[in-house]
Structure formats: structure tokens, C-alpha cells
Amino acid sequence: MGAAVAGWTVAAVLLQVAGLSLFLYGFFPVKPTLRGFSGAESYQVPSCGSVSAGEQEPTLPPDQLRSLYRELSGIPPVYDRLVLMVIDGLPAEFVLGRGRKPPSKEMMESMPYTQSLLAGCKAAAYHAKAAPPTVTMPRLKAMVSGAIGGFLDVAFNFNTQAFLEDNLLDQLHMIGLKLVMLGDETWIKLFPTLFTRQDGVSSFYVKDTVEVDFNVSRHLEFELAATDWSVLVLHYLGLDHVGHIGGRRSVLMTQKMKEMDDVIRRVHTASLQDNLDRTLLVVVSDHGMTEGGNHGGSSYEETDSLALFIGHSVESPYCSPYDQKEALQVDLAPTLALLLGVPIPKNNFGVVLPELLNSLTDDQKLRMLELNSWQILRLLQAQVPAFCLEDCINSEGSIVLDILHGSIEKKLCHLLSKAFSSHQSSCLHRGSDFKSVKSGYYGTAADNYYGFLRYASEWLSHRATDKPFYLLVSAILLMTVSCLFLMSTVSCLFKARSLSQVDHHSESYLDQRWHLDEVLVLAGMFLYVISLGSSSFVEEEQYTWHFLTSTLYLIFLTKAVQSMLKGSNPTLGHKAEEKSFDKSNFSYATSFELTPGKRNVYKLCTILIVLVAGRVIRAWHQGGINWVHFPDISKLLAQADSSVVKSLQIISVLAVVVLFSVSLTLLRARPKFVIGVWLTHISCGFLVLLHIWANQISTSLPINHSTASIARQFYVIASVSISVTVLASPWVFPMFSTEAESASSGSSPVKAIHGIRNSLFLTGITYTAFWGLLQLLLQQPINAIPLFLIFLQTVSSVVHFSLDKTLHKQWVQVVAIHFLGMAGHFGLGNTNSLASIDVAGAFIGISSYSTVLSGILMFMITYASPLMLYLGLVLHVSVKDIDDISALQQLKWSYILDKMVTLPCLFPLLINSLALTSYTIVLLLMRNHLFVWSVFSPK
């Protein structure tokens, strides 16, 4: 039976792991991105075969690089200066209208200058469709790099948010242009070293709609007068904040749009005064907003962002500004790159926008399209290694026949070769005197180029975001199967147990009816699984866990009160009470000879401690992702003097040591070995104190050698003492000695169990206490008190469960401990966002950077609380009810093992697998809505 259970469990866990990895593989497609930056090679035809042209060109000084680019491209830069004005959250509908209709009169009047430019054909505007997630940082990345970032790039560089892929701004910087940035500090996070002058404003205070834009505009006069910069980035956040407060129809909206229009007017007039009209003004929005003013998803309202260009090259004699021209947000990158004379970023799949090239000659236009096509061809070659231009041209004749049922690659091949050949024939007719012939050839070549570019761009963007549906479904099926496996194992176990219980105690005190706490555990798990379907519950998961945990412990409280009332009633429960009291003669309570009244007081007190500690932990870190601005204790402490935090740290270290010492006194037998463990623990606590003190003295030095050596000493002492305890404790407590003869009737199993219990108790308490100290060393100083409280909760709930073993079934106890662990996990400030992972602690005591070591430390820091509670389960096992085994006369090791180990292992597994499975199902259902983005990507 035991082997079968173990086998099933292992199989279920393996299935779960397999399903999860399959799901992750399907959900986060790792698209091959090209590393490095485009250089001079982007002005040459991509060669077949070797995708990564390994030859590293010597980096040229900026001026030479600039002239080299100009020479190679054959087109002089169209503009010298660029003003990129980002209006956060402005829907293109506000400026361009929707469905062939101009915007409403109110909207037209709120942007008079912009509308007059559009009507006068001095500006070109597009509905630039943004890709989800429609939140600021990924959208800015898309604009400057022309690529949709991978899902996991947030995870891969959690350490630094700096943007490392090839992008427009870095290219401009490389040819020696000076950049200035005013506005949202996201730009500074992305490009920390790029800007000559910068003034970042925070998007944190959403309620502020005035100051946030004033802080940008106050520099405008100076910057517009200055001549040193070539690129000016303005990022206005106010309109997004207006939306967040009052939605699209907010009364502040027209006012804000007037303000933006005024900025556009100021910048444009300044650029006109400037010498030769060599400035391009680009007004874009990073995303739109819903009717209620939010964004993040993929609805039309959210993805409808604006791209408006004002400059000499867009002017044309005839135009229809409200034609609702569609483009992609990524088209911005190649367009600006070509107009400013730098290579197109490597991973771009945008297409150069036609109206920006109005003032250019036909040849120049075709050359730009050609450069764009070469760049996209390089990207295609990275995705489809066999794809090759020469093959396409060579096999042209044979392909034409089967375009219709050819593969996508063949179609791309065909379009590409058609484009290049028509370009060649247009070049051949360059000398032709007939204008009509020339423009005719130009027209077909341009059409062919656009045909290829649009098709390739669409295909590439699909590849970047497509999720294989069947893969995801099969992964979820695997996980569901594993979940069912675990469930059936648990139910089998229960069936077996209830059978054996019927055998041995037919008058079992635990009646068969469902108890309130059991109902709550089941209903709570159900509600929790349901709540994962709502994004705000996922964002604020800490509320759910705290609520469930506190409710469970409140029910324990009422049960304790109830049993108290029952116990003091002489006629009813006396017999049962006496019986259970008699049976638990090995419990630690009896070692103190507690009277029933005192027992009851202890029972109530332990629960009250757990409840109050839980509430304090909850108040320590308020708010997960949505409500981070809520006041809480950790923010108060962050503002307070650092000595307060230090003293709290010291207090919690001392408290952990004291609590450990108190728990050790519960051991009845106290050999010298226990005292040894105690002493090492005290010395470890002393080391932690030293570490805190050393940090206090030298906060200025980034890497301090004395603190690192203290931390390393701690690691050594702690690991040695833990392993010695685990190995030695079975031999210290006598299992088969004659010494414990007097304890009971003297059968050897009883003594054996007694020995096992003592050693398990020592092991468990040592584990948890050392874990507590380790966490006090690693975690942020602010988390010291919550850590101690979690330790306290662990110990007191174990004590509570040992005081009255008949009150709660064992599986409820295990679940309660698991709940405590999860509540503590979120109580330490963790959220479901990757942004909340604490990186600083991962380098304590490590002299050189090591991914593995700091990864382990980071894992320990992040899962501090659940792991502490799992270690606490060892403690729990040692004090739990195995008296009915001692009632059996013959010794059955397998049965003891079964009773002691299986449940505590199986239940957390079951709950975790349930949570994971439901989480993945939610992800599958919502994969298009993608609220996930707002969870995974910082706003």
C-alpha cells in the first residue's frame, strides 16, 4: 500500500512538472532575437548561408560612422533633428475620428492647431495599432526597436531594466547625435546613459494631472532655444492620468488636449524658425484607453494609438486627413531610422510609412524600401534558416506555378523576388525620357515592395505572439490528470484509514459528520480557485490567503471555546475528555502536568497569538499590484529613522533565539547534545546580530568584506549544526533502552515511538529556528518582525494542535499550516508580479557573482515563509497523534511511516497542483485578453 501511494504520488508530480514546462514553453514562445546592432552591413544585400555575419567591424568614431552611412545608403538624411513627443494614453480616435468620420466637434476644437495642420496637408497621421500589453514600457520598446518584446524579457533581466536590444535611440547616439529627454522616467530606466540632459517625472502619482506635465513643459523654452541637441523626447503623462481618474469623457480631457495642442504649436513654430526646416516633429501615443480610462488589454480602444508626423517631407498638395489610414506602431522605427540616416534596428518588423517619403524622388523611395526589405530579409533568415534570396531568384520560374498552394516561405520568396526584379527593371529605365514610363515602373516596384513587406511583417508579428493552442490544451490536460491522480491517492488513503479506524475504535470520538473547519477548507479552496479567474484577485492574492487563514483559525477558536463549554459541562463531554486526556500521555502538555483548565487557556492563547500575528503581518505590506500606494507599516518604517529598523531587527533575532530556547525546554529528556545545539544556535544568532551591526556602520560601501565573511561563517555553522542534528538525533534519544520502562506498560514499540518523536521534535525545531535566523540575515531589514511573527505562528499552531489532538482532523491541520505559509508569503511583501522579487539579498555572503548560488539564495528569500512552514510540518509530525499506533501491540513500521509522512506531504502537493492547474486554465482562457500582461509587466 505504501509503495503504491508513493508510486502514484511520484508519477503525479512528474506529470505535473512535465505539464507545467510544456505549458510554459507554449505560452512564452522564445522567439529568436538578433543580438548586436545593425551597422554598415545593413546597406548590403544579405548573403545566403551564414546568418550571423561574425566579422566584427572596428567601431568607428561617430562622425566617420555618420558619413559612412550616408555614403553607403546613397540618400542624404532627410532630417537633422527629431522631436519625439509622446502623449501617454491618447487614443487616435480623439484626433482622427473613427469610421471615415472626423472626430466630434468638441474634440476638433480642443486641438485647433493640430487640426489646422492636418487640414492644410502639412501633417500625416495614422492609426498606429499597438500590440498588447498596452502598457507604457513595452510600447516604448516597440516604438524604438520595431519589435514586440518577448514575454519573458522582463524575467530575464530583472536585475536591470535597461534596454539592450538594437534600437533607434542607440543608433542615433552612435552617430554622435545628442539626445535630451523630458517626461516619464521610464525612458531613463530604459536608457540610463543615453541622454545628455534629462528630467524624469514619475507616473506613480496617478491623481496628479497638472504638475506632471508642468514639470515637462517648464524646460521647453530653454530646450527649444538650445541648438545642441538633435533628438528631443517629450513624454507627457497627464492625459493618461486624466483617463485613469475620469475616463474618456472626463471634464479635464478637453483641457488637457488643449494643453497638448499648445505644446505642439510651440514646438512646431520653434522648428520653423530654425534654419532650413530640417526638423521632424513626431507626435505619438504609446497606447489608447478604454471608455473607463484603463489600458493593458487588446481591445480596439486600447490599441488605437496615434502616430502623427509634421515635417517638410509629408507635405503634399492634396490630402484627406480623416481617411483612417492604418499602420502599426512598430512602423515608427524603420521610418525614423531611414529619414534620419541610420541603419534600421535589427529586430524590426515594421514597414516604412509611405506618406513620409512624399518629398523624395522615386529612386530614393525605392532605395529606402530596398533597405527595409533587406533588413526584414535578415530577420526572416534568422527565423527560417533555409530562407535565401539567391535561391528565390534562381527558382523563380518554377515557383510561379504553385503560389496558390505553396507554403508561406514560398510565397514570401516569390513576393521578394518579384519586388527586387521590378526594382531592377525600374533602375534600367532610369534613363528613359518618358516620365510616364518611369513612374509606371516605379509604381509596380513600390507596390511589389509593399506587398512583400506587409506580408512578411504580418507573418513575423504572428510568430512573435502566436501561442500554439493545442500544445497549451494538452499541457493543461496533463496537469489536470496529475491533479486527479493526487486527489484519488488522497481519497484512497482516507478510505483505508477510515476502515482501519472502524476496526480499532468503533466508538471513535471523531464523528463521521463534516465539521465546520473541513467545510471551510473545501469551500475556501473552491472560492480561491474561482477567484483566480479575476485579474484583481490575482493581483491582490494576499487578501484571499489572509482572509481564508484567519477564518480557519477563527473557526478553530470557536471549536476550542465549544469544547471548553462542553468540557466544563459535567454530564456531556466529560468521559470523552477524560479519555482523550488519558490517551495523550506522551504529549508535551502532560510533561507539565497541565490541568484541563490551564490546557484550555493555552489552547485559546495559541490561537489568539496566531490570529493577532497574522493581522500584524497583513498590515505590514498592504496592497499587491493595484494598491501599492496604500499606507502600511513597512512604508512608515521606510520613512522612519534607520535605527528604528535596526532595533526591530535586533529584537526579532533575540525573540527567535528565546523562542527556540523555550521550545527546547519542552523536551523532557535533555541530554548534553541538546545543549550543544542550543549553543550553536545562540552563536548563529550572535553572528546575525554582528552582521546587522556591521551593515549599520558601513552602509556606504557596496561590498563589505567583513559582512560577507560574517555571513559565510553563519552559513558554515548553521549547515554543520543542522546536519549534525539530523544525523545524530536518532542515536541520542534511546529507542530501545530500558530506561523509559516506567513511562508505560513497557512494550518496545511505545519506547521506539517515543524516541522517534523526541528526535523528530528536535530536528523540526532546529530546522525552523535556523531557517528563521537565515531569513533574518537575508531578507530586507523591514521584514524582520514579520519573519519572527511567522516563526511564532508556526510554533504556536503546532503547540495548539498538540494540546488537543481530537479537535481537528490531521488533514485540516496540514492544510492550516499550508495556509499560514501562503499568507506569510504574501505578508512578506511578495506579489504575483516579478517586480517584487528581492534581488538585493541574493548577494549576501557571496564574494563573486555566481548565478547558481544567488539563484538559490533568491529562491530562499522569495519562498521564505512556505518553506519555513514546511519545515514546521516536521515539528508537527513529531507531536501529532500516533497513540493509536501504540495501542497496537505489534509494531508496524510501514503503518507508522504511512501515518506520519504521507499526509503532510500529500496535502501541500495537492493544493499546489490544484492552484497551478487552475492558474494555467485561467491563462489559457484569458490568453487573448491578456490581463496577464499587467501582472507580469511593470506599468
223 binds, among another protein, Zn ion, none (CB under 5 to 8 A by kind): none
Taking the C-alpha atoms of residue 463 and residue 317, their distance in angstroms, rounded to an integer, is: 40
With respect to another protein, which residue has the nearer C-beta, 811 or 826? 826
* Radius of gyration of the CA atoms of the chain, in A: 35
Taking the C-alpha atoms of residue 514 and residue 811, their distance in angstroms, rounded to an integer, is: 13
Tell which positions 111-170 bind Zn ion, by CB under 5 A.
136
804 binds, among another protein, Zn ion, none (CB under 5 to 8 A by kind): none
Nearest approach, Cβ of residue 914 and another protein (Å): 19
With respect to another protein, which residue has the nearer C-beta, 99 or 570? 570
With respect to Zn ion, which residue has the nearer C-beta, 235 or 621? 235
**Which three three-digit cell numbers place residue 584?**
495523550
**Residue 426 Cα distances to 44, 362, 366, 429, 835, angstroms:** 19, 10, 9, 5, 54
- Which of 936, 913, 817, 902 is closest to 865 using CA atoms? 817
**Residue 33 Cα distances to 30, 376, 380, 688, angstroms:** 9, 12, 11, 45
Taking the C-alpha atoms of residue 815 and residue 524, their distance in angstroms, rounded to an integer, is: 11
Q: Judged by CB under 5 A, does residue 833 bind Zn ion?
A: no
Taking the C-alpha atoms of residue 239 and residue 252, their distance in angstroms, rounded to an integer, is: 9
With respect to Zn ion, which residue has the nearer C-beta, 111 or 212? 212
With respect to another protein, which residue has the nearer C-beta, 495 or 566? 566
Q: What is the 3-state secondary structure (H, E, C) of 529-590?
A: HHHCCCHHHHHCHHHHHHHHHHHHHHHHHHHHHHHHHHHHCCCCCHHHHHHHHHHCCCCHHH
- Which residue in this structure is represented by grid cell 490599441? 303
405 binds, among Zn ion, another protein, none (CB under 5 to 8 A by kind): none
CA angle 178, 181, 182 (to 5 degrees): 150
Stretch that binds Zn ion, among 33-41, 108-116, 279-287, 490-498 (CB under 5 A): 279-287
796 binds, among Zn ion, another protein, none (CB under 5 to 8 A by kind): none
Stretch that binds Zn ion, among 85-93, 121-129, 687-695, 813-821 (CB under 5 A): 85-93
Nearest approach, Cβ of residue 834 and Zn ion (Å): 19
Please pick, from the candidates 88, 223, 301, 540, the single residue that binds Zn ion as defined by CB under 5 A.
88
Nearest approach, Cβ of residue 866 and another protein (Å): 20
With respect to another protein, which residue has the nearer C-beta, 264 or 823? 823
Cβ atoms 199, 182 nearer than 8 A? yes
SS3 631: coil
SS3 233: strand
With respect to Zn ion, which residue has the nearer C-beta, 243 or 685? 243
**Which three three-digit cell numbers place residue 564?**
471548553
Residue 798: phi, psi to the nearest 5? Answer: -65, -40
Nearest approach, Cβ of residue 611 and another protein (Å): 5
Q: Judged by CB under 5 A, does residue 186 bind Zn ion?
A: no
With respect to another protein, which residue has the nearer C-beta, 324 or 535? 535
Nearest approach, Cβ of residue 535 and another protein (Å): 8
Number of neighbouring beta carbons within 10 Å of residue 671: 14
166 binds, among another protein, Zn ion, none (CB under 5 to 8 A by kind): none
Nearest approach, Cβ of residue 636 and another protein (Å): 12
Nearest approach, Cβ of residue 511 and another protein (Å): 10
Nearest approach, Cβ of residue 513 and another protein (Å): 8
With respect to another protein, which residue has the nearer C-beta, 93 or 539? 539
Q: How many residues bind Zn ion (CB under 5 A)?
A: 4
CA angle 888, 889, 892 (to 5 degrees): 70
Please pick, from the candidates 153, 165, 240, 304, the single residue that binds Zn ion as defined by CB under 5 A.
240
724 binds, among Zn ion, another protein, none (CB under 5 to 8 A by kind): none
With respect to Zn ion, which residue has the nearer C-beta, 90 or 177? 90
Q: Are strands 179-184 and 81-87 parallel, antiparallel or unpaired?
A: unpaired
* Binding positions for another protein, rule: CB under 8 A: 513, 516, 527, 531, 534, 536-537, 539-540, 543-544, 546-547, 550-551, 554, 558, 561-562, 565-566, 568-569, 572, 611-612, 614-615, 618-619, 626
Residue 277: is it exposed, middle or buried by C-beta count within 10 angstroms (0-12/13-18/19+)?
middle
The conformational region for residue 280 under phi > 0 = left, psi -120 to 50 = alpha, else beta, is beta
**CB neighbour list of residue 136: distance below 8 Å, 6 or more residues apart:** 88, 184, 186, 203, 240, 286, 287, 939
Nearest approach, Cβ of residue 301 and another protein (Å): 18
With respect to Zn ion, which residue has the nearer C-beta, 133 or 845? 133
With respect to another protein, which residue has the nearer C-beta, 348 or 600? 600
Nearest approach, Cβ of residue 546 and another protein (Å): 6
Taking the C-alpha atoms of residue 540 and residue 627, their distance in angstroms, rounded to an integer, is: 8
Q: What is the 3-state secondary structure (H, E, C) of 810-863?
A: HHHHHHHHHHHHHHHHHHCCCCCCHHHCCCHHHHCCCCCCCHHHHHHHHHHHHC
The conformational region for residue 28 under phi > 0 = left, psi -120 to 50 = alpha, else beta, is beta
Q: Are strands 179-184 and 231-236 parallel, antiparallel or unpaired?
A: parallel
568 binds, among Zn ion, another protein, none (CB under 5 to 8 A by kind): another protein
Q: Where are the beta strands (DSSP E) in 169-277?
A: 179-184, 197-201, 231-236
Q: Judged by CB under 5 A, does residue 649 bind Zn ion?
A: no
Which H or E run includes 82? strand 81-87
Q: Judged by CB under 5 A, does residue 290 bind Zn ion?
A: no
With respect to another protein, which residue has the nearer C-beta, 81 or 599? 599
Nearest approach, Cβ of residue 562 and another protein (Å): 5
88 binds, among another protein, Zn ion, none (CB under 5 to 8 A by kind): Zn ion
Nearest approach, Cβ of residue 534 and another protein (Å): 7
Q: Judged by CB under 5 A, does residue 286 bind Zn ion?
A: yes
Stretch that binds Zn ion, among 106-114, 191-199, 239-247, 297-305 (CB under 5 A): 239-247
Taking the C-alpha atoms of residue 581 and residue 418, their distance in angstroms, rounded to an integer, is: 91
With respect to Zn ion, which residue has the nearer C-beta, 88 or 539? 88
Nearest approach, Cβ of residue 43 and another protein (Å): 50
615 binds, among another protein, Zn ion, none (CB under 5 to 8 A by kind): another protein
State the sign of the Cα–Cα–Cα–Cα dihedral 429, 430, 432, 436: positive
136 binds, among Zn ion, another protein, none (CB under 5 to 8 A by kind): Zn ion
Nearest approach, Cβ of residue 612 and another protein (Å): 7
With respect to another protein, which residue has the nearer C-beta, 562 or 665? 562
With respect to another protein, which residue has the nearer C-beta, 547 or 592? 547
Taking the C-alpha atoms of residue 454 and residue 221, their distance in angstroms, rounded to an integer, is: 41
SS3 690: helix
- Which of 911, 924, 927 is closest to 16 using CA atoms? 911
544 binds, among another protein, Zn ion, none (CB under 5 to 8 A by kind): another protein
1 binds, among Zn ion, another protein, none (CB under 5 to 8 A by kind): none
Nearest approach, Cβ of residue 566 and another protein (Å): 6
Q: What is the 3-state secondary structure (H, E, C) of 365-391?
A: HHHHHHHHHHHHHHHHHHHCCCCCHHH
- Helices within 276-387 (DSSP H only): 300-303, 332-340, 362-383
With respect to another protein, which residue has the nearer C-beta, 537 or 715? 537
Nearest approach, Cβ of residue 541 and another protein (Å): 9
Nearest approach, Cβ of residue 396 and another protein (Å): 57
Interface residue list for Zn ion (CB under 5 A): 88, 136, 240, 286
